[in-house]
Amino acid sequence: MTRRVLVVHAHPDPTSFSRALFDHVGQVCREVGNEVRVHDLYGAGFSAAMSANEWSLRGAAPSTKPHLVPYFEDVAWCDTLVFVYPTWWSGQPAILKAWIDRVLANGVAWKVDESTGHVMPRLRNVTRIIVVATHGRSRGANLWCGRAGRTAIVRSIRRLCSWRCRAHWLALHAVDRSTRFERDRFMQRVERVLRRIS
């Protein structure tokens, strides 16, 4: 089965392990025959700041935000969302949080039912979410801090997707103290998951 994969990456250092993971994800997805689009947020100069104008249009139709329309279109196109990022302060980097805030917008990822006031999911096209995250601290330290980043994606974003959507959480903890062997093993784990879902 050919998948339509959107890979969203957030790391400012092009020599980082996170960047290597991002490149590897794209390579593996293409090798197995998937269609791939990427949002390299730092590379594209994506703004981490929501402007006052954007805030005033937060409930308006996506067409009122033409600078974000290509991002909206890619989200509507994909059936698989892959996030690759380092964990900072228990969550996503600000630029990725901004992508979530601004791209998974009203009319794109959700809409409000006027009669009930309930949020209605609109990402029914998405049947897989894969997170490839690195952490500076140990697994135990992340558990103690509450894993806010994981909750935001695996619970909140997943709720907006297909009822059949499965989430895969792939995390390398204590990355700053990891060995080359541990990093290679993690990359192999990521590859196995990507090949298995294709």
**Per-residue pLDDT averaged across 94-123, rounded?**
93
CATH code for residues 4-197:
3.40.50.360
Q: Provide Rg for the chain, Cα atoms.
A: 17
Question: Does the model's pTM come out above 0.85?
Answer: yes
Cα-Cα-Cα-Cα torsion 148, 152, 154, 160, nearest 10 degrees, comes to 170
Bridge partners of 82, per DSSP, are 7, 130
Strands (E), the chain: 4-9, 35-40, 80-87, 110-112, 119-121, 128-135, 166-172
Question: Rounded mean pLDDT of the chain?
Answer: 92
Query: How far apart (Å, rounded) are the C-alpha atoms in residues 68 and 52?
Result: 15
| Percentage of the residues of the chain whose pLDDT score is greater than 90 | 76
pLDDT per residue over 47-91, tens digit each? Answer: 999 889 888 988 888 999 999 999 999 999 999 999 999 999 889
Asked whether the predicted pLDDT for residue 144 surpasses 80, the reply is: no
